[in-house]
Amino acid sequence: MKQLLAEEQIQDAVRRLADDISEYYAGRPLTVIGVLTGSIVLVADLIRHLDLPLRVGVIQARSYRGPQTAPGQLAIDDSMLPDIRERDVLLVDDIFDTGRTLAALVDQITALEPRSVRSAVLLRKTGRQQVEMRPDYVAFEIPDGFVVGYGMDFQDAYRHLPYVAVLEADDLAANVLHRIVYDRMSYDRGHDDRRGCFFPDL
């Protein structure tokens, strides 16, 4: 894997994002809704720089990705959402790729009759969008490629990296192979304890 965005670069950009957001809402109460799970690191950093009366909630969006990195069917779980009726809402996600996830989330949130909905993402991939909407706040535009770190995973690994890295072809191959071997071992032992799985440092 190859580092794409350094920790300091990300921290500077998140601070600028927070300044823009604080300026826009100008003291009005804001409800920040983080999209699980990829946004947790961004939300944690962003909210500590927001100079506003603030509430924080979460919503879950899964686009069932298998061993490969292609997007699949989208499922949204809003059961953990706080009451957002008549509130100003800022949806925060890790990455705007095709845009289908964020577009669907904005629709779902809008149906709950908030006062307003805006959106912020850490990354936007260029030339991938399949929807009309655009996020209101974008920290970085990046070329197409599968990225991990700063909340973003590949098969549940790498979310804790303080930087963003792009996976390379042999990372994908090595990790998939590792997973297949590991699944086979768990299966042979009669249980699946993948959670404790050690991922080799690629």
| Interface mask toward ligand 5GP for 102-141; x: CB under 6 A | ----------------------------------------
Q: How many CB atoms lie within 10 A of CB 183?
A: 14
Of 52 and 166, CB closest to Mg ion: 166
Residue nearest to Mg ion (CB): 38
Q: How far is CA 49 from CA 5, 11, 22, 112, in A?
A: 20, 10, 9, 27
What's the closest the beta carbon of residue 61 comes to Mg ion, in angstroms? 6
Residue indicated by tokens 């390379």: 168
Catalytic residue among 88, 97, 144, 193: 97
Single residue of 18, 25, 38, 102 touching Mg ion by CB under 5 A: 38
Name the one range near ligand 5GP by CB under 6 A: 9-17, 94-102, 168-176, 191-199: 94-102
Cβ neighbours, 10 Å, residue 158: 22
149: left (phi > 0), else alpha (psi -120 to 50), else beta? left
34 binds Mg ion, rule: CB under 5 A: no
Single out the segment in contact with ligand 5GP by CB under 6 A; choices: 9-17, 90-98, 172-180, 190-198. 90-98
- Please report, to the nearest 10 degrees, the dihedral formed by the alpha carbons of residues 2, 200, 66, 95 taken in order: -40
In this structure, what token pair is assigned to residue 86? Answer: 């008549």
Contact footprint for ligand 5GP (CB under 6 A): 38, 63, 71, 93-101, 146-148, 152-154
Report the catalytic residues: 97
